[in-house]
Structure 1
C-alpha cells in the first residue's frame, strides 16, 4: 500500500513539473542572453559629500541605461584610492576620475582609456582659500604669506585638492608642504576643505574651483570668514575612464556607443549637477602633464 502511494505521488510530481516546464517560456543559454543579463557598473571619486554624489550619478545611471539599452548601476566608494581599486578589480568598468586618479587607474589596467571630459576640464584650476584671521588678502601673485600657516589639502589622491596645489607651492616657495606649514592636513574632499577653513580649523586650504563656485552660488560660504586668495594656472583634470575590455562583454562597438552617449549628454539638469556645460571626447595623452607632475612631486613612481 505504502509503495503504491509513493508511486502515485512521484507520478503526480513528474506531471506537475512537466506541465510547468511546458507553460514557461524557454530560457536560452546563448551568449547574447548571457551578455544582456550583465550590469554595467560605474563609480566616481568622492570629491563632495555622499548625498550630492548619489543624486548626481543616479541620474547618470538612468541616462546611460536609456542610451545603451543595458542595465547600468552607480556604486559609491569611500575614498579616491577605493575608486582606483574598484576599477583595477573590475568591480566597476567606468569611473569619473580626477586627473591623478585617472592616471593611476589607467596605469593599473592596461588598455583602459580616457574617453570623455567636461568642456571645462582641459582648463581646470584650484583655489587657495584663507580664513579671515590669517590676514592674507587676494593677489594675482602667489601668496608667499601662507608660509608658516596651518594648511589643509583635500584628499591625498586629489588633483585639484592636492597634486596641483602642492606642485605650485613647491615651485613658488621652494620646499615641501611639511616644511613650509606649521600643520598639514588632508580633509578628504573639497566640501570639507571649505568647511574646515571657514570654521578656522585651518588657516589656509586648497580647493577645486568648481566646488567653491557652486557652494558660493548656493549661499553656503560666508565671505566674511573665508575667501579665495589665489588661483592656480590651468591644467587638465576630470575625465571618464573606461576599462579596455568592455567590448568583450558588451559588444564590439560598446566603447564607441558609450563615448557617444557621454559626449551627447545635454540635459541641463544633469549637466548642472557636475557642474559642466557639456562633455567632449578625451584621450590618455591629454593627461601626460598630470603624470609628469605626479612623478615630479613623488606621488607616482616613474618606474611603475
Structure 2
C-alpha cells in the first residue's frame, strides 16, 4: 500500500502542471522585454479563460517549435514559417488568430551608409557586400528576404554577398547594421518602425533601402487536443479571447492594432516558398 501511495504522490506534480495552460512566443526581439510584455498577456488570458495560464520564454525560434511539439506549450505566437513548422509536427493544430497587420506583412532591407545604397522602388544590387538575416527560421528576417533576393538577383545569397550572418532576432539585425558590422540586413518592418518611433535609430548611419511586397506572417497557433484537456469548446473560447483583446497596452506587446481570425490555409504560400528554397523537409 505504501508503494502505491508513493507512486501517486510522485505523479501529483506532473498532473498539476498538466492543467496549467502554457504559451510561448518566438523571441523576435529582446528577450527580457518580451517576458515583461507576455506576462501581462498571460494574466489577461487567465481572466478570460478562468484557468491558470503561464508564459514560457524560449531562447530561439527552434526552441519555440520544439516546446510546441513536446506539449510544453499549447499555444504559441509564431511567425509564418515557425507556425508552418509547428503544425507539420503536430497534426490537427490550428492557426486561430493573426494580427490585423499580419495579413499584409513586410520586410525592410536596411543598409549602413558604408554600403553606398539609397532608397529605391527597384531591388538594390548588393554584390560583394556583407549581409545579415535574422533568425534562420524567421519569416520576415530570413525566408522572405532570401526569396526576394533570389527572385530579383537570380542568384543564391552565398553567390552575392562576401559574408552572411544570422543575427538571431530583428533587434540585433538593426543594431548590427547600424553599427556597421554588416553593410546590409533584412528585418521585420514593425521592429524598425517601433525603434524609429522610440528614437533608437540614427538615420545618418542606417536607412531603409527597399520595402518588400506584402505576405502573411505572424499568427497564434493552438495545439491539437486542447478541448480534451480543458473541456469542449475551449479552443473556440480561446480564439474569442484573442480576438477580443482590445487593451492598447496588451496589443503593444506584439505590436498590433487588433487580432483577426486566421486559418491554416492562410499560410500555404509561406509553406510552398519554404519548400521551394529548401527550408522545409
After TM superposition, the structure 1 = structure 2 runs for residues 42-121 of structure 1, keeping only pairs within 5 Å, are 42-121=23-102
Q: Contact 1:167–1:297 (CA<8 Å) still a contact in 2?
A: yes
Q: Mind listing any 5+ residue stretches in structure 2 that lack a counterpart?
A: 1-14
Matching of residues 206-217 of structure 1 within 5 Å: 206-217=186-197
- The equivalent of 1:5 in structure 2 is none
Structure 2 length normalisation: TM-score?
0.93
Q: 2:21 aligns with which of 9, 26, 40?
A: 40
CA contact (8 A) 1:36 1:70 kept: no
Corresponding residue for 1:297? 277
The equivalent of 1:278 in structure 2 is 258
Structure 2 CA distance, aligned partners of 1:36 and 1:76?
16
3-state SS of paired residue (2:280): coil
1:104-127 CA distance string (max 9 Å, x none):
000000000000000000100000
SS at match of 1:228: strand
Structure 1 position 35, deviation (Å):
8.3
CA contact (8 A) 1:131 1:200 kept: yes
5 Å matches for 1:123-272? 123-144=104-125, 146-272=126-252
Q: Give the alignment's Cα RMSD to 1 decimal.
A: 1.2
Cα contact 1:41–1:94 (8 A) shared by 2: yes
- Name the CA shift for 1:40/1:225 in 2 (closer, same or farther; >3 Å): same
Q: How many positions carry a matched residue from both structures?
A: 267
Q: TM-score, normalised by structure 1?
A: 0.86
> Which stretches in structure 1 are left out of the alignment for 5+ residues?
1-33
Partner of 1:23: none
Separation in 2, partners of 1:37, 1:92: 10
CA-CA distance at 1:55 after TM superposition = 1.5
| Structure 2 SS opposite 1:120 | helix
SS in 2 for 1:184: strand
Q: Secondary structure at the match of 2:164?
A: strand
Q: Which runs of 4+ in 1 moved over 2 A?
A: 34-37
Work out the CA distance in 2 between the residues paired with 1:268 and 1:47.
20
Distance (whole Å) between structure 2 residues aligned to residue 37 and residue 227 of structure 1:
47
Per-residue displacement from partner, 1:171-196 (whole Å, max 9, x unpaired)? 00111111110000000000000000
Conserved in 2, the CA contact under 8 Å of 1:68 and 1:258? yes
> In 2, distance between residues paired with 1:123 and 1:177?
25
Partners of 1:73 and 1:50 in 2: CA distance: 16
